[in-house]
Structure 1
């Protein structure tokens, strides 16, 4: 029987483009392909070092003069909801959760389009068609789930889809890859609710973390993440508690020496044992 050794991942950098979070800045990403028999180990290992998954790619911000974007995660055992978050839980008590395999449906796509048209009409996903949406949901080489939230239809027999989250199951937690919801539920804070429910899912599964993507100080669209107790961010190669968001000032995060050269960043990465031998 023929055996082949795992191939060490190759890392690349995207071309500079306008930053979606901070006006007047330029972003670039360090990325690598997520494929092969060691895909899950690579995803687990790099997620602990600030990377995120998008289909078959793992990426991390690597901007030349800015290090504002920081991967954020919640420590499940230490999390205690605030009064405001408890009210969100009560307001969304009518939702029923169901987890499925990563398979796209027309119902999901219709809700996704409604969400984009209402909240992100000018965003990078605004022109996605149903085939691109299906690729976002289904092209995953790791253990992923689509978690749907529904309410009963008072005029029919089928439940009404109100929110969806594409979720990766990591070795040490859940990673919320992408979520969307019915804009009519905006007053119920569904985005906060999705995070709260994932904390509960992780707690029941004995997983220590819920990964939220990136927190960006100074970006209004990212402010909500800093409101979660027991939040920590990945900065300078370590995870540290976000006890005082105001301490992460723009002056500190934005200067010509904010980021190491790409070669140094790659050299500092830890890879799974199956790839580093």
Structure 2
């Protein structure tokens, strides 16, 4: 992949939704998004640059929050080379998973991955907007023909899939799209484990950042991100060191 821009790249066209919709993070708010023209997806170089401006990917959609009366959703990223993976809790989680093997696979559909996803959504998020799960939903959300998109899978000694994270490899880091896991292995702290493994992978590949999605100060769903310091937060113009009070 070439990190340099080409003058032949088409300009990015952005749109917003015609109507607001209920916010997924704050119950008393409505939300909207700015998104890239889906008929003209960005190049890898453009996508990497968009990520530094707070954009994310979901399926074939590249977007960032564009709410009329709220700016609480702020992009977050871990400084991979600075996170202390030897912290007591992190070390314990990594040690418990030593019997698992990690592999990177194409982000294509498989019954094996969908079965885990279906169980995860049904058992862990049956009260969320992704329930009930379906093959069509899974394909539209997590499968991709983009060459930068992969599934980071972890399996046990018998080759059984335990957890998977859809990731995008950017020019300066790894973007975490979504993690799902076998609920029977919750004692491995698989959500935290996936993030730690992304940090290890970023370090191995020489990338300084793991893009972790949005930080919303008053959303309980986001509280887990506090532990992955040093964390940077994008305020709409600059990436700033994480301040839990701001």
Once superposed, what is the RMSD of the aligned Cα atoms?
1.9
Q: Give the aligned partner of residue 18 of structure 1.
A: 22
3-state SS of the aligned residue for 1:78? coil
Using the size of structure 1 for normalisation, the TM-score is: 0.81
What are the residue-to-residue correspondences of 1:1-277 with 2, within 5 Å? 5-14=8-17, 15-33=19-37, 39-81=43-85, 82-153=87-158, 159-242=159-242, 244-245=243-244, 247-248=245-246
- What is the Cα deviation at residue 124 of structure 1? 2.3
Find the residue that maps to 1:131 and give its secondary structure: helix
Q: For each residue in 1:85-118, what CA deviation from the matched residue of structure 2 results, as whole angstroms up to 9, or x when unmatched?
A: 2211122222211111121100100100100011
* Structure 1 position 183, deviation (Å): 1.4
Q: How many residues align?
A: 238
Q: Judging changes above 3 Å, is the alpha-carbon distance between structure 1 residues 88 and 196 closer, same or farther for their aligned structure 2 residues? A: same
Which residues of structure 2 form unaligned runs of 5+?
Answer: 1-6
Large movers: runs of 4+ above 6 Å: none
Quickly say closer, same or farther: Cα 1:24–1:139, change in 2 above 3 A: same
- TM-score (norm: length of structure 2): 0.90
Shift of 1:214: 0.8
Do the aligned residues in 1 keep the contact of 2:122 with 2:133 (CA within 8 Å)?
no
CA distance in structure 1 between the aligned counterparts of 2:212 and 2:167, rounded to whole angstroms: 10
Could you tell me how far apart the structure 1 residues matched to 2:192 and 2:169 are? 20
Query: Which segments of 5 or more consecutive residues in structure 1 lack a partner in the other structure?
Result: 154-158, 249-277
In terms of fraction of residues, the more helix-rich structure is 1
Structure ranking higher on relative contact order (CA contacts 8 Å, 6+ apart): 1
For residue 38 of structure 1, report the CA deviation from its aligned partner. 5.0
Aligned residue number for residue 3 of structure 2: none
Query: 1:5, CA displacement in angstroms?
Result: 5.0
Query: Does 102-111 or 5-14 show the bigger shift?
Result: 5-14
C-alpha displacement at 1:217, in angstroms? 0.7
Structure 2: how far apart are the matches of 1:76 and 1:111? Answer: 28
SS in 1 for 2:130: coil
**In structure 2, C-alpha distance between the alignment counterparts of 1:184 and 1:23, rounded to whole Å:** 30
Query: What whole-Å deviation, never above 9, does each CA across 1:133-164 have from its counterpart, x for those lacking one?
Result: 123333343411111111124xxxxx211101
